[in-house]
């Protein structure tokens, strides 16, 4: 039986030749998953023999990766915000930069909870994740709020929409997997839930990782992206078409002191605020950067002057 240490180098080499930029990591993650262990354990015990069934699983996984399929779909798992999410072709794979959306969304929720505790307004903070896909953003927010002993349902309500029924199925599975299935309402809808009461402006915090890749740039994305649902990436001619559609709905959806947080592309730090000025003149925009220092979140709120 071949050992871990014998199998890895040839797999790394094949993946490198096929064009993977993370050949070593890919090989290690796929072998660990084929054996049913953690990558760190694998690296600590290179002398461990790999049995025939694990070897077959590993070779199948490498073959799929060689055809360009993302590791997250092959494993069926992607880590995000310290949690493991089920990942498959029903939804976009959660990206590390999207953790920023979770952090800023959480900060917006906590600030409103604290204000509410000091007796200002209703104690309920209403959060909506628009275009939730596999649910990573809203589930991460829910898990972290629960960890902080926030009473979900009483102090914070959480809902999420997507126009893809199959993405919502994955999101529900993930929510159940993280024990927040009862805390999040998943709604099949194009952007906003249909039954929002007119004029009620009921949402305090909107988080949205909508498609924002320019249609013309889709073909140039890494081949792994071609395994993801195109509608989760394609943001129209300038990448901002879907974001603009949601911006136009904010006056009726967002509470007076509400905030809407949009993930944007690293090169949209000027175009996204310009789109806001065009769609909602007088509203405020701020740009937050991701850990790599790139513009990543467009934060939108009503203007203060009336």
Tell me if 243 contacts ligand GLN by CB under 6 A: no
Binds ligand GLN (CB under 6 A): choice among 143, 164, 174, 209: 209
Binds ligand GLN (CB under 6 A): choice among 150, 213, 275, 298: 213
Exposed (0-12), middle (13-18) or buried (19+): which is 112, by Cβ within 10 Å? Answer: buried
Site for ligand GLN in 263-292 (CB under 6 A): 263
Smaller CB separation from ligand GLN, 6 or 166: 166
The contact mask relative to ligand GLN for 83-122 (x = CB under 6 A, - = no) is: ------------x---------------------------
Binds ligand GLN (CB under 6 A): choice among 180, 225, 250, 297: 225
Tell me if 133 contacts ligand GLN by CB under 6 A: no
Tell me if 211 contacts ligand GLN by CB under 6 A: yes
Smaller CB separation from ligand GLN, 152 or 170: 170
Tell me if 212 contacts ligand GLN by CB under 6 A: yes
Binds ligand GLN (CB under 6 A): choice among 32, 71, 233, 300: 233
Residues near ligand GLN (CB under 6 A), total: 9
Smaller CB separation from ligand GLN, 24 or 95: 95
Minimum separation from the CB atom of position 141 to ligand GLN (A): 17
Which residues are near ligand GLN by CB under 6 A? 95, 209, 211-213, 221, 225, 233, 263
């Amino acid at each position: 039986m071949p050992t871990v240490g014998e199998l890895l180098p040839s797999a790394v080499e094949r993946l490198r030749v096929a064009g993977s930029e993370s050949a070593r990591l890919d090989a290690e993650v796929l072998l660990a998953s084929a054996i049913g262990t953690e990558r760190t354990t694998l690296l600590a015990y290179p002398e461990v023999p790999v049995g025939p069934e694990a070897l077959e699983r590993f070779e199948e996984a490498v073959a799929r990766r060689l055809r360009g399929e993302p590791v997250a779909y092959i494993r069926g798992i992607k880590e995000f915000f310290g949690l493991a999410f089920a990942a498959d072709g029903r939804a976009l794979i959660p990206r590390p930069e999207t953790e920023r959306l979770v952090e800023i969304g959480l900060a917006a929720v906590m600030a409103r909870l604290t204000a509410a505790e000091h007796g200002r307004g209703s104690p309920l903070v209403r959060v909506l994740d628009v275009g939730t896909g596999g649910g990573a953003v809203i589930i991460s927010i829910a898990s972290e709020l629960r960890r902080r002993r926030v009473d979900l349902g009483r102090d914070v309500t959480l809902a999420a929409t997507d126009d893809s029924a199959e993405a919502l199925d994955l999101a529900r599975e993930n929510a159940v997997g993280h024990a927040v299935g009862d805390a999040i309402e998943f709604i099949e809808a194009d952007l906003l839930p249909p039954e929002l009461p007119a004029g009620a402006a009921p949402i305090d915090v909107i988080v949205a990782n909508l498609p924002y890749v320019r249609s013309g740039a889709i073909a140039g994305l890494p081949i792994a992206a071609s395994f993801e649902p195109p509608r989760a990436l394609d943001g129209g001619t300038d990448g901002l078409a879907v974001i603009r559609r949601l911006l136009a709905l904010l006056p009726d959806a967002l509470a007076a002191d509400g905030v809407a947080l949009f993930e944007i592309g690293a090169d949209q730090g000027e175009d996204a605020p310009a789109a806001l000025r065009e769609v909602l003149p007088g509203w405020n925009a701020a740009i937050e950067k991701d850990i790599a220092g790139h513009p990543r979140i467009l934060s939108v709120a009503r203007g203060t002057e009336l």
